[in-house]
Amino acid sequence: MSDTSPGPDEVRHVARLARVAISEEEAEQFAGQFADILGYFETLDEVPEVERDTDLVNVMREDEIRDSLEQEDALANAPESEDGYFKGPNVS
């Protein structure tokens, strides 16, 4: 069990941040499961400080024009489109 694991209210808050609506039941169920899972994650506190290798390199390519999807193909999976644009819900 985790000392800091979220209760149902905090689970709902995280769900709002993640843009996933959840029911009351799910909030309760997830809160219980998160206590176990986050408690287990807390054993990461036993990991020593590790010097990380910096073997990361940037991969660059020439900035040249390439073919891309046709507009029709790009819109083909959209539930709604209009005049060559994606059509979404109101932003308010």
Partner 1 sequence: MSGNGTIFITEETIEGEADGPLAGKSVAVKDNISTEGIRTTCGSAMLEEYVPPYDATVVTKLKGAGATIVGKANMDEFGMGTTTETSAFGATENPVAEGRVPGGSSGGSAAAVAAGDADLALGTDTGGSIRCPAAFCGVVGIKPTYGLVSRYGLVAYANSLEQIGPIAHSVEEAAELLDVIAGPDEHDATTREEGADANYANATDGDVDGLDIGVPTELVEGADEGVVEQFWAALDDLESQGATVHEVSLPSVEHAVEAYYVIAMSEASSNLARYDGVRYGHSGGYDGNWNEVFSEAREEAFGDEVKRRILLGTYALSAGYHDKYYKKAQDARAWVKQDFDSAFEDVDVLASPTMPTPPFELGESLDDPLQMYLADANTVPVNLANLPAISVPAGETDGLPVGVQFIGPKFGEKQVIRTGSALE
Q: 15: Cβ–Cβ under 8 A, 6 or more apart, which residues?
A: 21, 22, 27
Question: Under the criterion CB under 8 A, does residue 49 sit at the interface with partner 1?
Answer: yes
* Interacting residue with partner 1 among 9, 43, 65, 82 (CB under 8 A): 43
Residue 44 corresponds to which amino acid? L
Q: 78: Cβ–Cβ under 8 A, 6 or more apart, which residues?
A: 86, 87
Shortest distance in whole angstroms from residue 58 CB to partner 1 = 9
Contact 34, 11 (CB under 8 A): yes
Question: Under the criterion CB under 8 A, does residue 69 sit at the interface with partner 1?
Answer: yes
Distance (Å, whole) CA 1 – CA 51: 30
Range 15-34, binding partner 1 (CB under 8 A): 15-22, 26, 30, 33-34
Residues that bind partner 1 (CB under 8 A): 6, 11, 14-22, 26, 30, 33-34, 36-38, 40-53, 59, 61, 69, 73-74, 76-80, 86-92
